[in-house]
Amino acid sequence: MPPDRMLLEVLLPFRVFLRKRDVSRIVAETAGGAFGMLPHRLDCVAALAPGILTFETPADGEVFIAVDDGVLVKTGLDVRVSVRRAMAGADLATLRDTVEREFLAQDEQARSLRTVMAKLETGFLARFARLHKPLP
């Protein structure tokens, strides 16, 4: 890796999503807005907001990754991004469609899980209340 290029790692809770060498620039989004990062920027830590992480390499050109909430840490030429969910795309239009489809499906699964959990909790509380009824 040339001395003026960064190593970018995007980490998910269960695996390494991306490890890319020779990164010349990175653009990330925080709650305060987007910021750019070049190789000789000072070390920093940033809380990421859901959005698009953009990076550029000579071989791949500009690459877009949709990310969820997370943290970005830059130490020297190493940049690590830790997020719950991430998806890569060749262009923004394709990435947007993929994100909508995948994240909406995950949101539906989460709603379904909450419904099942509410039913289990209600049943448990009803049985628990019957156990504590005073005997005649």
What are the residues facing 86 on neighbouring strands?
67
**Cα three-residue angle 75-66-8, rounded to 5 degrees:** 25
| Rounded distance between C-alpha atoms, residue 11 and residue 86, angstroms | 9
The answer to whether residue 15 scores a pLDDT higher than 90 is yes
Q: So what's the pLDDT on residue 133?
A: 66
Average pLDDT on 109-125 reads 76
Q: So what's the pLDDT on residue 23?
A: 96
What torsion do the CA atoms of 89, 92, 97, 102 make, to the nearest 10 degrees? 40
Average pLDDT on 53-64 reads 92
Q: So what's the pLDDT on residue 122?
A: 81
Q: So what's the pLDDT on residue 6?
A: 96
The answer to whether residue 1 scores a pLDDT higher than 60 is no
Give the largest CA-CA distance in the chain: 83
